[in-house]
Amino acid sequence: MSATESATARPRASRLKLSIGAAVVLGLVVLSAAVGLGIVRGQTQPVQTVQTEVAGGEESAVGGEIYVHVLGQVENPGLYLLDVDARVVDALSAAGGTLDDADLQAVNLARPLSDGEQLLVPAIGEPVDTGGAAQHSDGLVNLNSADQAALEALPRIGPALAQRIIEWREKNGRFQAVEDLLAVSGIGEKLLAGLQDLVRV
């Protein structure tokens, strides 16, 4: 190789080394930027939402659900979250079923439940409070849980009309408002006006 060719080759080799070095540095910069961006993005990702559980393993209420306190002769007494159209049999099932000495003759398994209700399953031979489950601390009779006797205790509600209220409830589900009583045959505006301050849903 001549002196001229050797002199020309040296700058080319230097430029080639410089280009490789620049490419490596550029690659490292891009990689660092990508890693940094990934870390920032990771920090701003939303945390996974976990729904809170209540007694009985039910998920927290989102809507259309009721709380029922189950007591007495059941496997697991406690507070349960049930569907809004749940009945007594559903509450007992959520509580793990009844004990051997439970008096199921004293409990209407088909009765619809209401929000905030306390359901007591008595033992065989234990005295039963016929109106306790239907009447709340405010003294009002709950149209969704009242039995025949509790309804008949209301003014101008006789056995036949009380039975029609129960039948309407069993056929159509829960009363959503006191005014729904107007859908029951035999109850008009005048009778409803006399009941509005005595009942609730």
Q: What is the mean pLDDT of residues 4-21?
A: 53
Q: With cut-offs at 50, 70 and 90, classify the pLDDT of residue 35.
A: very low
Q: How far apart are CA 134 and CA 146, in angstroms?
A: 4
C-alpha 200: how far from chain center? 22
Q: How far apart are CA 51 and CA 53, in angstroms?
A: 6
Q: What is the mean pLDDT of residues 166-192?
A: 90
CB count, 10 Å around CB of 34? Answer: 10
Q: State the distance between the two ends of the chain, measured CA to CA, in whole angstroms.
A: 106
Q: What is the pLDDT of residues 134-171, one digit of tens each?
A: 444 457 888 988 888 889 888 899 999 999 999 998 88
Please report the pLDDT score of residue 201 as a whole number.
85
Residue type, 18: L
Q: With cut-offs at 50, 70 and 90, classify the pLDDT of residue 11.
A: low
